[in-house]
Chains A and B, each alone.
Chain A
Amino acid sequence: MTSQARDPAELGPRPEAEVPAESCDYQPENPVEQFLRTDRMPHIWCPGCGIGTTVNSFARALLEAKLDLDRVAVVSGIGCTGRVAGYVRLDSFHTTHGRAIPFATGLKLANPNLTVVVYSGDGDLFAIGGNHIIHAARRNLDLKVICVNNFVYGMTGGQLAPTTPVGALTTTTPYGCYEPAFNLPALMDAAGAVYVARWTSFHVRQLTRAMVDIFRKKGFCFIEVLTPCPSLFQRKNRMGEGLDAMKYYKEKSKVRHGAPTSEVGLTIDGDIIVGKFVDRERPEFLDLLRSQLAAQLGDRYVEVEHLVCS
């Protein structure tokens, strides 16, 4: 952890010892280790699942952005990705399905000093939670949303999601998906997000940089990360193992920073446009609220440091 010492007992046992490398007496810890609830390892994610890879970028971004870890909160919904909240050694909340954004909204408004990260799946955020996320973006609430997109509902057995590409086989579309999918960056752009990017779990360094960007930016920020789901999406579609998906992302991804989000929709076998698409300024929700109240109420409105009276 950083300099603010926490009670070690609170954090659970220290990570188990690593197998030492040959002939080196100096061995630092794995940078991700301090962010993990090691007592819960090994995690439940399947071999070759890409969710864990995104957590590596998240850990390095937290270190690089030098955030006060006691002021970072992670909120997840339900799903394989939702497990992130249970595995990170930070204040974290595993909420109900689709309600990560409402929960995060309350957290941020009650304690504006927090950096509130929403880490959840495409189904959780855009199917059951779709209404919440567009309104959070419209309000430009200061939330950092990391959406892991594996094109299906992973946890419940690989059903169709709003992101499933046309033609893909899923448990609930045995003859192929015929519903048009959401283009998540375009949706977030249209709704008002101030930062919109897409990367894949192959782009570990770029993803880390994007996460640092959003930790430093005020307002509603959105990163879509495409990840392998070998057990369900790939198996149904005969797309091989996790590693095959990683190689596929490497081959098919084209970096186009600033690409119009209307042009970055995904298809089952087309190019994958990645990059930072939107980075703009809009007044943030809490600032709007405060200035409106100040303008309307004048000296009958006061801002205090501590929102919870004791």
Chain B
Amino acid sequence: MPKGYVAINVERCKGCGFCVEFCPTHVLAMSSAFNSKGYHPPHVVNPEKCTGCDLCGMYCPDFAIYGWKAPESKNGAKSDAAR
């Protein structure tokens, strides 16, 4: 199970590459795909490496990506309550 997750709002992205460059665990790569404005959004290539640190979210000037930590229950497993 990954420690965290990342979500991308492709239509808001302007393809600057900040998130790809500064993700500490190299979860992301620029995609060859276009969004409707013609920008290349990032693509999640290594989801298992995501820690949910949200650095991508702090860097993104277009508010188009963010990460979050996987919820944990007391015994360390993923919690259903938080879903």
Q: Which residues of A contact B (CB under 8 A)?
A: 16, 18-22, 24-28, 30-33, 36, 41-43, 45-53, 55-57, 60, 201, 204-205, 208, 241-243, 246-247
Contact = CB atoms under 8 A, between A and B. Distances in A.
B33 to A, nearest CB: 13
B16 A31 contact: no
B38 to A, nearest CB: 11
B60 A25 contact: no
30 contacts: A18-B66, A19-B8, A19-B10, A20-B7, A22-B44, A25-B83, A26-B71, A28-B68, A30-B66, A32-B66, A33-B63, A36-B63, A42-B12, A45-B62, A46-B14, A47-B16, A48-B16, A53-B58, A53-B59, A53-B60, A56-B58, A56-B63, A201-B61, A242-B16, A243-B16, A243-B17, A243-B18, A246-B21, A246-B22, A247-B21
A4 to B, nearest CB: 24
B7 A19 contact: yes
Interface of B is mostly: mixed
- Classify the interface of chain A: helix, strand, loop or mixed: loop
**Which range contains the number of B residues in contact with the other chain?**
20 to 34
A47 B21 contact: no
Give the interface centre of A16, A18, A46, A50 by most chain B CB atoms within 10 Å: A18
Nearest to A230: B16
